[in-house]
Amino acid sequence: MSSAEIAVKTLRRLEPEDLRVLAVIELDMSRHRYVPEADISRLSGLTPKQVNYRLQRLSGFGLIHRWVGPYVGYALSTVGYDCLAMNSLVKADLIEALGKPLGVGKESDVYDALSPDGRRIAVKFHRLGRISFRQTRRLRGYVAERRHISWLYQSRLAAEREFEALRIVHPHGVSVPEPIGQNRHVVVMSFIEGVELYKVSEMRNAEEVLNEVLENVRVAYQKAGVIHADLSEFNVLLKPDSHILIIDWPQFVRTDHPNADVLLRRDVENILRFFQRKMRIKRSLEDILEHIRHINMGFAS
Ligand SMILES: Nc1ncnc2c1ncn2[C@@H]1O[C@H](COP(=O)(O)OP(=O)(O)OP(=O)(O)O)[C@@H](O)[C@H]1O
Ligand SMILES: [Mg+2]
């Protein structure tokens, strides 16, 4: 069972005091890697004896880690953080039930889920800070100066960034999942059926698909002032109706970002490389960049 699945199961067994202690540990983790037991007592308003009882329960459920150093301290586990986020999202009436995993990777776990009004939604848990060169690259720019960046903070920041990007580009008609909600490291969005482009080996209308990807890049750039900055065949879904969807936005930048040109170029290059290699379509990178950066009417093939 994955962390999110364990969290959902465990959530049902938690009592309000368990959640209160969990939230206090989360809060104090901005100051301590391991939160001292005395702080938990003070901040939760529970007696030391009550706190001790809650800490044992939470440890037993695997929601916190106990650390013994110069003092005894506690830190949230991934499951503990998932519990806090799921509790808030359920209380906010955004999620009714978590379903099957859609993609469980290094940097996120995405689940099929149901909203209280019966809508099919996608729930993305960001998981950063687990040593990866790629993550460091993706995060560079928005967490540059902090020396110790906890996984908790990185993951929440990634979710906030992704939700922000979706909220900016979606109203402009860029083909992305509809943003529904966000809490901590979790983003809730509309579910879209589709296959990642890299898995598609045959396309009848490859020219149109390519045009549609580039047109979305152009609208995001021109109308929303946003560059995806991690665009590739891994982050474009091809829907059953042959239209596309661009996902995975936490590393977006604004078009006034100092690296905007480099990032836009890399995004477009990745897409063109894929279509050239797999679909034998050749386009001029420079012409396309010109199209994207300047006002005009879409892409001729
Ligand atoms: N809104 C959605 N609807 C349906 N499926 C989705 C949605 N968002 C993401 N997915 C699925 O989850 C997968 C991973 O999503 P995404 O690209 O956003 O995360 P990631 O950060 O790249 O994760 P990873 O670490 O696995 O690479 C996608 O390839 C897709 O299959
Ligand atoms: Mg991705």
Q: Whose CA is nearest to atom 28 of ligand 1?
A: 103
- Which bound ligand lies closest to the C-alpha atom of 247? 1
Q: Can you give the pLDDT at residue 300?
A: 56
3-state secondary structure of 238: strand
Q: Whose CA is nearest to atom 9 of ligand 1?
A: 110
Residue 235 Cα to ligand 1 midpoint, Å, equals 7
The arithmetic mean of pLDDT across residues 160-186, rounded, is 98
Residue 2 Cα to ligand 2 midpoint, Å, equals 19
The arithmetic mean of pLDDT across residues 70-90, rounded, is 97
3-state secondary structure of 186: strand
The arithmetic mean of pLDDT across residues 145-160, rounded, is 79
| pLDDT above 90 as % of the chain | 85
CATH architecture of 3-80: Orthogonal Bundle (1.10)
Closest C-alpha to 252, from 168, 190, 155: 168
- Catalytically annotated residue among 18, 39, 230, 248: 230
Q: Whose CA is nearest to atom 2 of ligand 1?
A: 191
CATH number of 93-190: 3.30.200.20
Residue 234 Cα to ligand 2 midpoint, Å, equals 6
- Angle CA 163–165–169, to nearest 5: 120
> Does 18 participate in catalysis according to the annotation?
no
Q: What kind of fold does domain 195-293 have according to CATH?
A: Transferase(Phosphotransferase); domain 1 (1.10.510)
The arithmetic mean of pLDDT across residues 195-209, rounded, is 94
Q: Can you give the pLDDT at residue 130?
A: 63
Closest C-alpha to 20, from 36, 44, 37, 38: 44
pLDDT (tens digit per residue) in 16-36 = 999 999 999 999 998 899 999
Residue extents of the structural domains in the chain: 3-80, 93-190, 195-293
| Lining residues, ligand 1, CB within 6 Å | 102-103, 105-108, 110, 122, 124, 177, 189, 191-192, 196, 235, 247-248
Amino acid, res. 94: L
Question: If phi over 0 gives left and psi between -120 and 50 gives alpha, with beta otherwise, what is residue 54?
Answer: alpha
